[in-house]
Amino acid sequence: MRTRFTWAVSACLLAQAPAPAQAINATYARQLDRSGCTQLSEAQGCDIHKSRAENAKAGFVAPAAARPATNALGFSVSNMDLQADPRRDFVRYASGTWSDRTQIPASEGDVGRFGELAHQLDERLLRIIRDASRQRAAVGTPVQQVGDFYRAASDLQRRDALGLKPIEATLKAIEGARLDDPAELARMSARLQLGSVASPIANVDVGPDFRNNQVNALAIGPGVQALNRDEYLQPESEALRRLYLGHMMKVLSALSEAPRQAWDHASTVLAMETELARAQMTAEQGRDPKFMDNHLSLDEVQAMVPALDLRALLSALGMPAATTVIAPDLGGLKGVQAVWGQRSLEERRTLLRWHVLSSQAAALGQPWRGLAQSFNLQRNGLSQAAPLDVDIERLMGVVLPHPLSRLYVQRHFTEQTRQEISEMVGHIRDEFAERLRLNPWLDDATRAAALDKLSRVDILVGHPAEGDWIDHSGVQIRADDHFGNLQRLREFRLRRQLAKLGQPVKQERFAAPGNTTPISVNAAYNPQTNGIDITAAIVQPPFYTPGADAAVNYCTMGAVIGHEITHGFDSFGRQFGPAGNLRDWWTPQAASAFQLRADMLVKQYSEVEILPGLMHNGSQTVTENTADLGGITLAHAALRRSLKAKPQAPIDGLNADQRCFVAWSQLWAYKARPERLRMLVSIDYHAISTLRASLPLRNLDAFHEAFGIREGDPMWRAPNQRVRIW
């Protein structure tokens, strides 16, 4: 089930989008080799091996023999394939040995450096959680809530004994509701949004207005479906739709429906969800703030969806009837009317029953939990589920993010780390400012505005200030009520968000579960605050290694910082001014020059075939690709500046430039199952990690110089085709 509707957008480093599994928090980035995965390479079909003599003849000196393999997450020569030629396949050269020795876990769709760090994080968090579960702490404290949540979720015997009881009242309400009455349909939608994260009918959210981020605005959007939009529509997702149809029939049969009845109901659900999905905005439209910036009166929105009483919807959520509404997805709202205004009463009930079953199955006992797990495994090409305690830990990171994060920070984050990263932030920011001053295609007016915006980017490291943690102490967490715990936490989060309507905007940092909380392996830029959160969980190997040489740390953590700063000046972020409001501060000439370069980047990525017949979508990923290019460009330039006074001697046979680019590439070492790749290409705003390992580098003159890459080499990109933006 897709997550809560929102129109606010953050740009982030996350290697890949969360997978549609029970626990979404730690499914970071995780192409067919002999073990059943596809090894993606830009140099497919090439002879990627050359002798050391040939390398030396071309002007490249290979590093000394690799050290024994190590499990350390940081940069290591032992990850490299020293027999590979970096001019032919740089990904293989930088991470070939890692790829050879690394297998995708049976319970995962992919594996990568993000994923490896996430698994280390799992272990640390589980130790914290188990420690908390053995204590009897004061009610409402993080230790009590974390410990009791874990005990309740681990009690499978009780969950199995309850069966469908936790959702019986909602299912009964659906059967008795007059769903053809606009007010009653609205009240049902509110009930489902409060109880299951999101409603399949319509959803309400509150957040800063794009045009004025000092105002909390009301937004109304369409309902959500179990699959991603394109999975309902694209021919290549036909197998998934058949799998989904079969899954629905199994669940409905477990409810004692006859085979024919189960088929009819499942077919109805699929048809209705497909119609709703077809009307909704595309992934690319979801990255266009002007497309989503639709200010309408409540009456104007109501006229679009007469089948749904919007005033009754807001009232049921405890909200006033706002004068102005933002409707980010106008097409999606028209789809709401087309489906919920025309389908029969029984068809409406069928879809709502399915939504309740599918969205809550993971929290129930058997057979419902097992059926949901089986579908997720098949959907993602997996042979094994994650251990129960890992599932619980990842779920807790979503529903109890700050209580768990507080315990993590106390044990694993130091003030010294914050100071070291903050110092690097200053160096990268200074480098960006210098490049803005010297940028040849910016005119003076746009240059001045860009420098002003950069000076106001607010970058925080680690976790919120002491008084800014979100207080969950008022939420009752019981050791014997897993389903109730989830319901209360979900309702707390939604009501807390909706209560902001009409209130002054207060910036909440490190607050987006699975994205910017301190236990998220990530960093993220928010254009509406012109701010960057660098989480406590990411400032460790492979992203930051205390004591490592400058080349490694600049071109990993420094590149992360540069990536996020660049988001303020990419195709999306550049549409927001220094104060975080949607406004055009570019002259037409500067905007045209930027777009020319962004279009070149789109073309580069769109030429890559991920799987046979599956092309990469350069338009969908252009903002993240721009940030990757900016990140490594800024990091390498800052590295060179830092080494002017004290050059770095070669280490492991690699000079500073070479170590920089290998360290960057190793960050994105990656293997994935075909199912995972297909889904990511469909929904993710990031390029596949293996592309991130080399495509940005091929736009840098310094990369070509460092490895002696010449015209005719597969890694060569002609100078006039190299994209230089920031």
SS3 call for 488: helix
Other Cβ atoms less than 10 A from the Cβ of 317: the count is 18
Q: Which residue in the block uniquely carries the two structure tokens 């979801």?
A: 286
- Whether the pLDDT of residue 71 is over 60: the answer is no
Distances (CA, A) of 708 to 59, 174, 206: 6, 68, 53
Give the CATH number for residue 419: 3.40.390.10
Over residues 196-223, the mean pLDDT reads 95
Enumerate residues 6+ apart whose C-beta is below 8 A from 373: 22, 362, 385
Q: Report the distance separating Cα 656 and Cα 706, nearest Å.
A: 9
Together in a domain, 296 and 213: yes
Identify the domain containing residue 330 by its residue range: 181-345
User: Does some domain include residue 532?
Assistant: yes
- Whether the pLDDT of residue 243 is over 60: the answer is yes
Q: What does the pLDDT read at residue 13?
A: 65
What is the per-residue pLDDT across 395-408, written as a single tens digit (0 to 9) for each? 999 999 999 999 99
pTM value is 0.89
Together in a domain, 323 and 421: no
Over residues 595-607, the mean pLDDT reads 98
Together in a domain, 304 and 439: no
**Which pLDDT band holds residue 48 (cuts at 50, 70, 90)?**
very low
Q: Report the distance separating Cα 241 and Cα 434, nearest Å.
A: 52
Domain boundary among 313, 345, 377: 345
Per DSSP bridges, beta strands 614-615 and 11-12 are unpaired
Domain boundary among 299, 322, 345: 345
Q: Report the distance separating Cα 241 and Cα 243, nearest Å.
A: 5
Q: Report the distance separating Cα 406 and Cα 702, nearest Å.
A: 42
Together in a domain, 529 and 632: yes
Over residues 595-611, the mean pLDDT reads 97
Rg of the chain in Å (alpha carbons): 26
What is the per-residue pLDDT across 169-200, written as a single tens digit (0 to 9) for each? 999 999 999 999 999 999 999 999 999 889 99
Closest CA to 2 of 25, 15, 16, 18: 18
What is the per-residue pLDDT across 131-142, written as a single tens digit (0 to 9) for each? 999 999 999 999
Together in a domain, 428 and 320: no
Q: What does the pLDDT read at residue 10?
A: 63
- Whether the pLDDT of residue 478 is over 90: the answer is yes
Phi first, then psi: give them for residue 231, nearest 5 degrees.
-70, -20
User: Does some domain include residue 516?
Assistant: yes
Over residues 98-111, the mean pLDDT reads 95
User: Does some domain include residue 22?
Assistant: no
User: Does some domain include residue 38?
Assistant: no
Together in a domain, 314 and 456: no
Domain boundary among 298, 324, 345: 345
Maximal C-alpha separation, the chain: 80
Q: What does the pLDDT read at residue 668?
A: 97
Q: What does the pLDDT read at residue 196?
A: 83
- Whether the pLDDT of residue 34 is over 50: the answer is no
Phi first, then psi: give them for residue 572, nearest 5 degrees.
-90, -55
What is the per-residue pLDDT across 435-465, written as a single tens digit (0 to 9) for each? 999 999 999 999 999 999 999 999 999 999 9
Phi first, then psi: give them for residue 277, nearest 5 degrees.
-65, -40
Together in a domain, 310 and 418: no
Provide the token pair at 13.
């480093």
Q: Report the distance separating Cα 118 and Cα 124, nearest Å.
A: 10
Together in a domain, 325 and 228: yes
Provide the token pair at 71.
């499990």
Over residues 140-152, the mean pLDDT reads 98
Together in a domain, 331 and 443: no
Q: Report the distance separating Cα 310 and Cα 538, nearest Å.
A: 42
Report how many domains make up the chain.
2
Q: Report the distance separating Cα 264 and Cα 620, nearest Å.
A: 36
Give the CATH number for residue 280: 1.10.1380.10
Residue type, 428: I
User: Does some domain include residue 600?
Assistant: yes
SS3 call for 367: coil
Indicate the average pLDDT of the chain: 90
Together in a domain, 525 and 602: yes
Q: HSE on the CB side for 500, CA within 13 Å?
A: 24
User: Does some domain include residue 457?
Assistant: yes
Crossing angle between the packed helical segments 330-340 and 259-279, to the nearest 10 degrees: 150
Together in a domain, 314 and 424: no
User: Does some domain include residue 44?
Assistant: no
User: Does some domain include residue 435?
Assistant: yes
Q: What does the pLDDT read at residue 73?
A: 84
Over residues 60-67, the mean pLDDT reads 41
**Are the C-beta atoms of residues 308 and 182 closer than 8 Å to each other?**
yes
SS3 call for 582: strand
Percent of the chain residues past pLDDT 70, beyond the cut:
90
Reading across the β-sheet that carries 531-535, which strands appear in turn?
Answer: 11-12, 523-526, 531-535, 458-462
Enumerate residues 6+ apart whose C-beta is below 8 A from 221: 5, 7, 202, 203, 205, 327, 328, 329, 332, 333
What is the per-residue pLDDT across 662-714, written as a single tens digit (0 to 9) for each? 999 999 999 999 999 999 999 999 999 999 999 999 999 999 999 999 999 99
**Are the C-beta atoms of residues 326 and 218 closer than 8 Å to each other?**
yes
Q: What does the pLDDT read at residue 221?
A: 98
Together in a domain, 425 and 298: no
- Whether the pLDDT of residue 286 is over 60: the answer is yes
What is the per-residue pLDDT across 484-534, written as a single tens digit (0 to 9) for each? 999 999 999 999 999 999 899 999 999 999 899 999 999 999 999 999 999
**Are the C-beta atoms of residues 558 and 634 closer than 8 Å to each other?**
yes
